[in-house]
Structure 1
Amino acid sequence: MAQFYSAKRRVTTRQIITVNVSDLDPFGQGVARHNGKALFIPGALPGEQVEVTITDDKRHFAQAKVKRRLNESPQRVVPACPHFGVCGGCQQQHASIELQQQAKSRALARMMGTRDHPALVNEIISASPWGYRRRARLGLNFQPKSQTLQMGFRKSQDRELVNIHHCPVLVPQLEALLEPLRECLSALKGVRRLGHVELVFADNGPLMVLRHLDALDDDDRKKLEHFSHSFGVALYLAPDGETLIALGDDEPCYHSDGLRLTFSPRDFIQVNDGVNQQMVARAIEWLNIQPGDRVLDLFCGMGNFTLPLATRAASVVGVEGVAALVAKGEDNAQCNSLKNVTFFHENLEDDVTRQPWAARGFDKILLDPARAGAPGVMQHVIALAPTSVVYVSCNPSTLARDSEALLAAGYQLRQLAMLDMFPHTGHLESMALFERN
């Protein structure tokens, strides 16, 4: 008779080890060393000695979980949000804002230099660390058992919603809408078929975009319109991924360098207005725009940089890959009576140097690409041979990669700034000035 051997499952206990935390990474994790590897510890801060268990042991690094803190860093602070630690929106509210900014600046310096010779971060551009976020998308989920509507953000590394009642990183005008908005949406007959709600604070007031999966009946529309009038919120309905129905006439707007820019609720705008204003001013300063300069703005969007540049230069060309943003840029130029700026809709991966508008060349270039960076664009920038290039980045790793092409072509890194666009989070944004020798 055949016999099958079944080994007993080996029972192991996770070993508790004691480590000294020496650094904070941009994502709010403490960094220690163990067995010659970097050990990343969520919730731990530099200067703290902690007892931890290793949760994930990779070849070159490991992850660990705090069991007990043996001392407390003087830079540890009490999180301002009651949802911190559960909500996935913020990762660093337990660290002082000074420590957060220092950690991000060190990470940027390492990425833009080498381990032995980090780059110099000349400046940290920041605004208020609280009440800064002027845009937020909140998930909606009706719970049949409790007959209640959940409204909030996702948990960290989880699809489950955290029911948000407070959010101190939202601008106060949006945070004040959370509870009345929840009450309004909960009262709708179509509450079971809501997707999400997006809140935006424009300079001319708040707006909301409601994604609903089924058609709203007249009663539900009246409830939403009553909420809109009662709280001064411009209302937009989104029955599908493409359609946007405005239940009002005012177009949202914001200001960049004193210019008024209108936008659609779905258009990209910088979330942190205070940092955006400083970022635009610093780009103009670094490029040292002169009245005779011809300037190129790549990935220009609706003109956040393009239009302020045009108030100082002889002419500015804005190039964007999204046709709707090009049209919006043209409208914004016209509304601000700027006649020396031209927008073009182009595939920026193509050789833009062959376009007729590039024939005269450019004195200075600014680019503000998405997270993927601009690897297909850098050789075209170099071919245009500007004296100065400002690169605005939302991903330091792609900035470091793309800057290698400029450095190899004889440009030098002259200025580097860390943009604290998203305090209390792991997002690290930056801008750099390169000048030709």
Structure 2
Amino acid sequence: MAQFYSAKRRVTTRQTITVTIDELDVFGQGVARHQGKALFVSGALPGEQAEVEIVEDKRQYARAKTRRLLNQSPERVTPLCPHFSVCGGCQQQHASQALQQRSKARWLAHLLSRETGREVPIDEVLSDGAWQYRRRARLGLNYQAKSRRLQMGFRQAASAELVDITQCPILKPELNALLMPLRACLSELRAVRRLGHVELVQADNGPLLVLRHLDALHAEDRQKLERFSHQHRVALFLAPDSETLEQVNGEMPFYQVDDLRLTFSPRDFIQVNEAVNQQMVAKALAWLDIQSDDRILDLFCGMGNFTLPLAKRAQNVVGVEGVTALVNKGAYNAGVNYLKNVAFFHANLEEDVTRQPWAAQGFTKVLLDPARAGAAGVMQHITKLAPHRVVYVSCNPTTLARDSQTLLAAGYQLERVAMLDMFPHTGHLESMVLFSKA
């Protein structure tokens, strides 16, 4: 009988080797060298020797997972979360906060130095506590028909499967305390099979929840949710679709920064780490060295997290944002805080902002806080405005390094760099940079 080759029959034996970890990358993976290339090892820390199994072998790098540690780093700590290593939310709870910060700062300096062609030191790290910092969370909901049980939690690492969590130590205590009673409440709803997700937010005036439901809610379900919200003093919002938001009870949320009150919609973006946000805003104000005659442009301004503190100090401020709802919220917040020297505008920041009527006055200083995609479309237009100082707040060091090239080529100097420890225990790396031009 003839036999034909089938790729499915091929059996590959994964290689097990012993390596010494040299450093930690930004995502919390140990980095070793093997056969002349980088080997990324999950679960291992610098200084540790480990028996590892290679799970992916590429031309430029390889990946492995730890089978056995032969020694332990003094900076290895016991994770507080029982779901760590399964839940995809955190990647570095096994490393001390100091090690996490040093590793992220080193990678940030390496990337900026490589892209700018000069050595770029990290001047400071803005940080706060490593636990109970997250004031916003979105949890998936999934009803398991076989077990008749509602899952509520975050996604597994590299998977669409939910991790059914009972606690989350990086959440604000008020939100963490809601997890178990909220699951119990949702499990009793008639609509338990048709729930999408739930969002929890800790505002300065208390917690709120947004429930995404896929079908219209029965009156009995609404009553149960309202009882829950009153019992736990939670503002309740219902979302029958991605565009609609029904405020059932409670006040609209707000938070404070620089002694200003910023009202926001439950779906609006706000900085997750309140303490680091306060430090970040204060640092941006100090770096810009605002004078009473300054005219400042705030790009990607959102609802005014930087714009309104700037307006307290400058002659006038213009905030520009691509989302109309945030522009309106920024203008509202300016009015609530009695700031009359600030204006908000909607604009496509991929287009030439220098042609906008509000740009005719000229600006002495610029702040920008773009999304992960960066600000490639607006960088050349910033140089046309020729501000004396530019502060760039970044949530993606790769696009920050790319966009910095435009300012450096236009004669700006990179003066200061701060790493923002906005998301301890995760692979997120945020930073801010000051550029100046004589």
List runs of 5+ in structure 1 lacking aligned partners. Answer: none
Equivalent residues of 2:236, 2:250 under 8 A apart: no
Trace 1:349-388 onto structure 2 (pairs within 5 A).
349-388=350-389
Q: Return closer, same or farther for 1:267/1:6 CA change in 2, 3 Å cut-off.
A: closer
1:52 is displaced (CA, Å) by 1.0
CA shift in 2, pair 1:147/1:366, >3 Å = same
Per the alignment, residue 45 of structure 2 pairs with 45
**Is 1:56 matched up with 2:50?**
no
Runs (5+) with no aligned partner, structure 2: none
Distance 1:10 1:101 in 2: 43
Q: 1:155 to 1:4 in 2, by over 3 A?
A: closer
Alignment of 1:392-407 (within 5 A): 392-407=393-408
Aligned match of 1:131: 132
- Looking at structure 1, the residues matched to 397 and 259 of structure 2 have their Cα atoms a distance apart, in angstroms, of 29
* CA spacing shift, 1:11–1:252, aligned 2, 3 Å: closer
Partner of 1:132: helix, strand, or coil?
coil
1:152 matched residue in structure 2: 153
Cα distance between partner residues in 2 of 1:13 and 1:395: 37
Counterpart Cα distance in 1 of 2:13 and 2:347: 59
Does the residue aligned with 2:85 lie in a helix, a strand or coil? coil
- Runs (4 or more) in structure 1 with deviation over 2 Å come to 2-15, 114-118
**Amino acid in structure 2 at the alignment position of 1:201:** Q
In the alignment, what sits opposite 1:77?
A: 77
Q: Would you say the 8 A contact 1:131–1:169 is kept in 2? A: yes
- Displacement after TM superposition at 1:13 (Å): 2.8
Q: Report the alpha carbon displacement of residue 236 of structure 1 after superposing the two structures with TM.
A: 0.2
Cα 1:218/1:33, change in 2 over 3 Å: same
Change in 2 beyond 3 A, CA 1:249/1:19: closer
Code of the aligned partner of 2:337: N
Confirm or deny: 8 A CA contact 1:295 1:364 kept in the other structure: yes
Paired residue total: 436
Deviation at 1:14, TM superposition (A): 2.3
In the other structure, the counterpart of 2:228 is 227
The CA deviation at 1:114 is: 2.3
SS state at 1:413 partner: strand
Structure 2 CA distance for partners of 1:125 and 1:216, relative to 1, 3 Å = same
Could you report, residue by residue, the CA deviation over 1:68-116 in whole angstroms, capped at 9, with x for unpaired residues? 1111000000001000000000000000000000000001001111299
Does structure 1 conserve the Cα–Cα contact (< 8 Å) formed by 2:421 and 2:430?
A: yes
Contact 1:369 1:392 in 2 (8 A): yes
How is 1:25-424 mapped onto 2 (pairs within 5 angstroms)?
25-114=25-114, 118-248=119-249, 250-424=251-425
Q: Superposition RMSD on alpha carbons, in Å?
A: 1.4
Amino acid across the alignment from 2:213: H
Q: Secondary structure at the match of 2:249?
A: coil
Amino acid at match of 1:80: L
Identity of aligned residues (%): 68
**1:7 Cα deviation (Å)?**
8.1
Length-normalised TM-score, structure 2: 0.98
User: How much does 1:29 deviate?
Assistant: 0.1
CA distance in 1, matches of 2:65, 2:337: 54
1:281 and 1:157 mapped to 2: Cα distance?
A: 36
Amino acid paired to 1:27: F
In 2, are the aligned partners of 1:210 and 1:237 still within 8 Å (CA)?
yes
